[in-house]
């Protein structure tokens, strides 16, 4: 498969992200314009909750979905606060909720808190909307913990499991993604994978697409089951599709 073909596949599965602390209405307008590029469109934009309504105005009538984050990025343990935030985001028009698992609770062995939060948010995310659970694998570190977090999220009703917030020193890694894909495969459930953070080149995207093809089978990785969470890979994907040499990635995610 050529770089251009890989880039086209990755672009359609992209959650084009702006979770910078300095995000503005103007930045959201620019993000949504990129999301609607005729070479795409991308699968979704991923924005802070306060920008969901503006994103909806920009994307009305398009197939691009609106994802937002809750319990982000710290992965706290206040279930009622997170369900309130989720309800508000859904009311504003979010189609997808990216929930940070209370990963510190999991690390200290408090599985019940983590499961309760995922189940509570799952109950709210209905009607064709998606729940993506962020495991923060760079903080969990231990392969056994990453596997346990994957299983917990899948059993509690996640539609996707996502590697990272992009806010910690270690974001997506192929090693973590492989563990997560194996857990998805073992579950037999139609759960997707979202590697996120640190994916900046066509070669980076190819690593994760190849992993999905190898473990789940060719053709499994479509926007229904596979997303790449990134801001900085977009320009590189467009450059590859246009046959230009790889453009230096810009952006922190």
Integer Cα distance of 65 and 45 in angstroms = 6
Residue of 162, 167, 204, 235 marked catalytic: 162
Integer Cα distance of 38 and 36 in angstroms = 6
Phi, psi values for residue 58, rounded to 5° = -70, -35
> In this structure, what token pair is assigned to residue 51?
């920008």
185 tagged catalytic = no
Longest dimension (CA), the chain: 50
> In this structure, what token pair is assigned to residue 67?
């994802």
98 tagged catalytic = yes
CA atoms within 13 A on the CB side of 73: 18
29 tagged catalytic = no
Residue of 15, 98, 159, 235 marked catalytic: 98
Integer Cα distance of 76 and 58 in angstroms = 31
The residues that are catalytic are 98, 162, 194
């Amino acid at each position: 498969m050529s770089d251009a073909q890989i880039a086209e596949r990755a672009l359609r599965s992209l959650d084009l992200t702006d979770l910078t602390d300095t995000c503005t209405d103007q930045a959201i307008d620019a993000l949504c314009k990129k999301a609607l590029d005729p070479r795409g469109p991308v699968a979704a934009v991923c924005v802070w909750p306060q920008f969901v309504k503006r994103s909806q105005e920009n994307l009305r009538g398009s197939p691009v979905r609106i994802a937002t984050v809750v319990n982000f990025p710290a992965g706290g343990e206040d279930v009622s606060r997170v369900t309130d935030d989720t309800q508000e985001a859904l009311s504003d028009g979010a189609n997808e909720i990216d929930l940070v698992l209370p990963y510190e609770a999991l690390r200290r062995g408090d599985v019940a808190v983590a499961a309760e939060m995922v189940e509570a948010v799952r109950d709210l995310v209905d009607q064709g909307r998606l729940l993506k659970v962020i495991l923060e694998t760079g903080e969990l570190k231990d392969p056994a913990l990453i596997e346990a977090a994957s299983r917990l999220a899948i059993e509690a009703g996640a539609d996707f499991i996502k590697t990272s917030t992009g806010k910690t020193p270690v974001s997506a890694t192929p090693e973590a993604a492989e563990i997560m894909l194996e857990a998805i495969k073992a579950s037999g459930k139609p759960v997707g994978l979202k590697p996120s953070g640190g994916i900046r080149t066509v070669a980076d995207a190819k690593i994760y697409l190849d992993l999905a093809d190898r473990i789940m089978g060719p053709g499994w990785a479509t926007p229904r089951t596979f997303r790449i969470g990134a801001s900085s890979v977009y320009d590189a994907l467009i450059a590859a599709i246009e046959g230009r040499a790889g453009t230096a990635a810009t952006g922190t995610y």
